[in-house]
Structure 1
Amino acid sequence: MTDDPLAEAGYLDIPPTSGGAAGRGWWDANAADYLEEHGAFLGPADFCWCPEGLREADAGLLGDLTGATVLEVGAGAGQCARWLVAQGVAVVATDVSGGMLAAGAAYDASVARTTPLVQADARELPFADASFDVAFTAFGALPFVPDAERVHTSVARVLRPGGRWVFAVTHPIRWAFPDDPGEAGLTATRSYFDRTPYAELGESGAVLYAEYHRTLGDHVAELAAAGFVLDRLVEPQWPSGHDRTWGGWGPVRGALLPGTAIFVTHLG
């Protein structure tokens, strides 16, 4: 896991630079545990947008990809990109974590498929201007950096005019509620407008993990500033009979509260 034991966790004021840099190390250290817990649900080569189980095969949020060049940002082990490869789509998957990309290479071997994997910070994508027609992320990058506007700007730079940018994040309303999938998670305990990040600190004082909150208005403002136009906001409902819990997601909360927000946008 880590050589710096966890000493403190909660909503903490932390230096933005430290918080933004924590993701690489945390995902490197926790890639195996994360995939052991969630890998069967995600599959090695399936495109799942969210814990509600919405699949791109059913939702079609990326649109017609015939002849398109696609970029996955914050891809983790590249499960979504690997599914697109099977559909004949030209796709590149990026992630900041070498540990997650190594797991992706192992998935490639297990399904006898080759997925282009590139290690990169989503805020500084290493591609030429106007290289892609579509970009997407399913819970990647955006929640883990203090400066998500840089992700949007970076994506805008590598998209061609009119290019589509689709991203899934934890629904912002969830920030006001405890991260509990049961009855205790149905009572708001924090202000929706409190943007203090959730952080975990080691005994050394180093930031080991950080997650950042943005309201719906924040997301829209950051998109607009980067030149994107919002086409749809998708809030998947919890499916009947889906009894799997994932952190704060589960059937109890899912029956009453949205868990995921998916922004479907295009470059104006």
Structure 2
Amino acid sequence: LFGGQIVGQALVAAARAVSHDEQVHSLHCYFVRAGDPKVPVLYEVERTRTGKSFSVRSVKAIQHGKPIFTCQVSFQLSQESPVQHQFTMPAAPPPEELLTQEELIQKFLQDPNLAERYRKHLNKIQAKDVPIEIKPVTPPDMFSREPQEPRQLLWVRARGYIGDTDMKVHCCVAAYISDYAFLGTALLPHRRYRPRFMVSLDHSMWFHAPFRADHWMLYECESPWAGGCRGLVQGRLWRRDGVLAVTCAQEGVIRVDQPPTQSKL
């Protein structure tokens, strides 16, 4: 099961247990067991606290009678404050000038000299039905083993039309989007290693300003640290007008195969 799907569905369940006027401002999740794609997921919501300004809902995702995921979601009634600031959005070319991930893969596949194992890998990616449009700002060479800075910029949006609906719906979709290719940022400096096992341990999000998940947003991802078979990634989703809409953080397990040692003979 895709982690972003579980986070998004858990947020849907939590949102149904608060009033229409309360909007999500943060969520904190743990992935505690592997999910089974063959059986439905049961979401159990506890009304942990309902206050005058803030409400907390606890969500458990259950399969085979055991929790696979736990989450705490906090909601807030709108409040004005003179205390406001944010970082500056990084410079990036507009999405209209960039190729989608699918178009980039198609360019690779047109290369007659592409090795068959790489061709199979790209066709496997192409076959996945991903409900997100992605346009990398500086797409990495998929087959290079050269280390890169643990940073990437992506334009992202949901496929199809969602419209001006309840903001909680857009937050649920953004939860799905936020987990896509996120942990991979931590592997960019270590491209000589082949990942053997990579899975999310936890995921947190903070929602700052209204946005449309079906409009282009710039996803700024960076990894400040990796070690002990774990990697930490942080992300910011920016609206096109420069407003910081969402901040994300995630830690995951990263296990890699050691590269073969070259013979000195």
> TM-score range, shorter-chain basis?
under 0.3
Normalising by structure 2, we get a TM-score of 0.22
User: Higher strand fraction: Structure 1 or Structure 2?
Assistant: 2
User: Higher helix fraction: Structure 1 or Structure 2?
Assistant: 1
Structure 1 or 2, whichever has the larger Rg, is 2
Normalising by structure 1, we get a TM-score of 0.22
